[in-house]
Amino acid sequence: MRPVAQLLHNKFVVVLGSSFQRSVYKDLVLILQRDSYLSLSQLKTKGEFSFEQDCLVEGGRLGQMNNGTAYREVRQYRTDHNLVRFYFVTQVFSRYMESILADFEQGIKPDLVIVNSCLWDISRYSRQWASEYKENLNKFFRKLKTILPEESLVVWNMTMPLGKKIVGGFLVPEIQHMGPTLRFDVIEANYFGATLANNFGFDVLDLHFQFRFSLQHRMHDGVHWNSVAHRKITCLILEHVAQAWGVELPKLGEKCRLSWCHWLAAV
């Protein structure tokens, strides 16, 4: 059995968030199967019917492809002993998020939730985003605390550093004026998210700090990151999970550590 598959053996893993978190999900699905990195095409593609033996459950190409707040995409990778699911969300707490959490409440409880919601929250819903974002974070964490068993592990991924210039599908015309200042708003939003997650007893992974001197791995759109960065992120998450679950780190296997060493050599 592959070491990563062994760590996540018989675990239900849920990844929640927007396009960045989709790539977190994709790299996790890939490393569960083989020793390779995501291609540029795999990083950029959204809503495909299948990725590396996963399946599109809802939304994406089964529905309407768009860059709006109503876009949906639910993906799932399943084997006899691994279950990984991704939900595309544009707001940390909403009616849609409530429906996702209701599924967890009524069905199988996730063993691991890897979550981030920030960029869409602070740019698409209100110019005065801070109070609404803090309120929604509170609602989300409180609901998670209520429905998940104590042994479930929740990891809040802090948002990565943004570029000075943002281009591409995320920055639709109606919010282009926010582009130059979003990187500063992210720092403030990260503080809110990390503080509240910690207050509720959830784990926090500070990816903004980890990648502050590795900006050469950020893609030209100023938002997304390349496959080398995502493998580093996967290793950080797996190390964090292993420590939380009391698994000795060498059991993660040499490939994850080797990838990490290659990444460090490249920075």
> What CATH number is attached to the domain comprising 27?
3.40.50.1110
- pTM over the 0.75 mark: yes
Domain assignment present for residue 136? The answer is yes
Domain assignment present for residue 252? The answer is no
Q: Which residues form the domain of 31?
A: 3-245
Determine the Cα–Cα distance for residues 194 and 205; give it in Å rounded to an integer: 8
Determine the Cα–Cα distance for residues 12 and 184; give it in Å rounded to an integer: 35
Domain assignment present for residue 219? The answer is yes
Determine the Cα–Cα distance for residues 230 and 136; give it in Å rounded to an integer: 27
Domain assignment present for residue 121? The answer is yes
Does residue 266 carry a pLDDT above 50? no
18-65: pLDDT as tens digits = 999 999 999 999 999 998 999 999 999 999 999 999 999 999 999 999
Domain assignment present for residue 27? The answer is yes
How many domains does the chain fold into? 1
Domain assignment present for residue 260? The answer is no
68-88: pLDDT as tens digits = 999 999 999 999 999 999 999
Mean pLDDT of the chain: 91
What pLDDT is attached to residue 127?
82
* H-type alpha helices, 8-150: 19-31, 40-44, 95-106, 119-123, 129-147
Domain assignment present for residue 258? The answer is no
Q: Which 3-state string (H, E, C) describes 154-217?
A: EEEECCCCCCCCCCCCCCCHHHHHHHHHHHHHHHHHHHHHHHHHHHCCCEEECHHHHCCCCHHH
Domain assignment present for residue 129? The answer is yes
